[in-house]
Structure 1
């Protein structure tokens, strides 16, 4: 009798392992055979800071061509990230041009590896050719500089979404990170800009904007809106940078989607708490030592604290966000917006770079998502929203 029970247990374990192996293989297959869009990867800024070549294998960072190919990534939005101070010193447009040129230079260096699409049709063709298609998303509308002709200029350069603001309120919108809210949402120019973006077919990105600005965008926009790299506030109460349930529902009702950010502090309340504790210790040490934040001593102290005390999210924590959004609004309104190369060393265990998208897909399969569900999350949903913006512009634009 005991022998029979032992055999049954062995058979059960073998069967379970076989199922897991099959799902691992299917996860790899799904990432390799479908369009995989990531809504936000900070490669251009990383290139500008490190002067490196992501067309070949690189040391450090989260993205390069070999790892992207391994992970199945073939349509990452390149973030044209403009730091807030660029608006203050009047260099935002020039800086955006430099970052766009860096992506163009990458394509010129590796024309068989990369391409920049200016439409969904171009993206599909580039992927069919085996290239990694690099659509452009501008993170921080500061580069518009209050001139609508600049909007069209950047559209012609390939920008297909604009995150209205970033870490500080700008001339377009209040920021979720900024206590100063001069516009109580969008500025008058910002409200006009939303309509002009609709007319051109540029997607509006509400990541980083204040809650008031979000609701105004939803009211004004006639085309579907995205959150290119945000997560669910349900898991991080009080963190305005993430989206509340009511906001996710409104976004979905308008036809848009939320693309889940992988950064641990976007995903986990425990991670956010550990970060706050570290910040308090650093602040105290700075006061006691009369040193600045950029002091090598303080920088080393900060690194050591993060190494010892920072709490990383894990793959299950990330998957919980996917589940929560699915339960709220369904799979048609979920995407991936990792923030690779943008959140430093805060990425979750199991999602450390662009080679690890199959881990997400395996986790979704384990949680009962169908292959069709997963294809939508990988890229189908974002392409639908992009198409909605293209179609609106074609019929209602200039």
Structure 2
């Protein structure tokens, strides 16, 4: 679909002119309308693990979570306000489980939790495994829960790939913070496999066979290039941003990676964490963390101890950092559009409930997506452009992955 503006040439077309003629209030109303008119999918919401560490028990519904709560970044009421209709629930497996064992059991328990939430509130939520199911739920006003496994650690043998597809998994992030048996991580410096392992190559082939999207967030650059080359369908980055703005942060994607992924039809879904968006924020945090560490040592305190936690709260209050903002998120979207020449290879992957209090101003929880749409309208994006970003791009990859499956 043709974009409404050409960033490379700096040409402002009709849509931008029309948007400029509208008042600020009219644009905000239009943004809210668009947020609810189209499906809005978010590639990565860490609600399940947040509930797990809160000792969530479905029978108690944990004080109303996830219907209405002030805790965390997601609940039903805020999601409806923001227009969020298809959040991918992250089945997050910490890298520590690669050493201790129990990764598969944790994945099963989190999947059971997500299904249990939907079963307890069938008028509000439903688990889905295809975009067509999500389309049908959207028409009914029901929020869909597709699931993505963050870290392939539970894929202990090749048959586990089909097992988790049958359990409802629609994408797998190949690894997380450490190299695993599938591939190397962007956070690790061990370079265990120099990319994909032999088993990892088989896993990608099996993911293609059973219809699970390949998620390249978190993986090393070598792993990325090998995965994109090997996969017979486009890949996604479910929650990554542009390394152009954070040159020291290898977890984000370089310009070349974005162009290579787009050439094969893939999609990068922009992460909202300030450390993913802004190098200045990263520098601020690093300086403050180093200073805090020295102060803890002087006081004889250890990280995680109750006294250290209280000291941390006071320290953060006295040393505020300047967060990224909604405009910065739009900058990342603009950059992908500029690199790829259209709006077909970028989406939203907020990492809500996964990046703590580092969320940007204007996008602090799932009620605030219209703020981003408003900024995109101001910058000249058409309604079609925005619908691409909201869901159509991810739908294309998801549908192609399922259509390509051999089972």
Q: TM-score range by the shorter chain?
A: over 0.9
SS where residue 133 of structure 1 aligns? strand
Superposed counterparts of 1:182-331, under 5 Å: 182-307=192-317, 308-329=319-340, 330-331=342-343
Residue 7 of structure 1: aligned partner: none
Q: 1 CA distance for matches of 2:389 and 2:381?
A: 10
Q: Any idea what the Cα deviations from partners look like across 1:193-244, whole Å, max 9, x if unmatched?
A: 1111011110000000011100110111110100000000000012000000
SS where residue 142 of structure 1 aligns? coil
Q: Any idea what the Cα deviations from partners look like across 1:11-53, whole Å, max 9, x if unmatched?
A: xxxx989521211111011111111000000010011112234
Q: 2 CA distance for matches of 1:103 and 1:221?
A: 28
1:48 and 2:52 are equivalent in the alignment:
yes
Residue 71 of structure 2: aligned partner: 60
1:105 and 2:116 are equivalent in the alignment:
yes
1:361 and 2:373 are equivalent in the alignment:
yes
Q: How many residues are treated as equivalent by the alignment?
A: 380
SS where residue 160 of structure 1 aligns? strand
Residue 141 of structure 1: aligned partner: 152
1:29 and 2:33 are equivalent in the alignment:
yes
SS where residue 240 of structure 2 aligns? coil
Residue 95 of structure 1: aligned partner: 106
Residue 334 of structure 1: aligned partner: 346
Contact 1:282-1:301 within 8 A present in 2 as well? no
Q: 2 CA distance for matches of 1:281 and 1:303?
A: 14
Q: Which has the higher contact order (CA 8 A, sep 6+)?
A: 2
Contact 1:282-1:298 within 8 A present in 2 as well? no
Q: 2 CA distance for matches of 1:84 and 1:273?
A: 26
Larger radius of gyration: 1
Residue 139 of structure 2: aligned partner: 128
Q: Any idea what the Cα deviations from partners look like across 1:65-91, whole Å, max 9, x if unmatched?
A: 000000000000000000111121110
SS where residue 331 of structure 1 aligns? coil
Contact 1:177-1:241 within 8 A present in 2 as well? yes
Residue 117 of structure 1: aligned partner: 128
Q: Any idea what the Cα deviations from partners look like across 1:88-117, whole Å, max 9, x if unmatched?
A: 111000000010000011011101100011
Residue 364 of structure 2: aligned partner: 352
1:392 and 2:395 are equivalent in the alignment:
no
Contact 1:55-1:110 within 8 A present in 2 as well? no
Q: Which runs of 5+ in 2 are unaligned?
A: 1-18, 57-61
SS where residue 359 of structure 1 aligns? helix
Instruction: Answer 1 or 2: which has greater helix percent.
Output: 1
Contact 1:278-1:302 within 8 A present in 2 as well? no
Contact 1:120-1:387 within 8 A present in 2 as well? yes
Q: 2 CA distance for matches of 1:17 and 1:48?
A: 48
Residue 165 of structure 2: aligned partner: 155
Q: 2 CA distance for matches of 1:180 and 1:287?
A: 29
Q: TM-score, normalised by structure 1?
A: 0.93
Structure 1 outlier segments of 4+, above 6 Å:
none
CA RMSD of aligned residues (A): 1.4
Q: 1 CA distance for matches of 2:310 and 2:214?
A: 39
Q: 1 CA distance for matches of 2:75 and 2:353?
A: 10
Q: 2 CA distance for matches of 1:290 and 1:84?
A: 29
Contact 2:66-2:74 within 8 A present in 1 as well? no
The offset of 1:371, in angstroms, is 0.5
Q: Given the superposition, is the C-alpha separation of residues 120 and 295 from structure 1 closer, same or farther in structure 2, using an over 3 Å criterion?
A: same
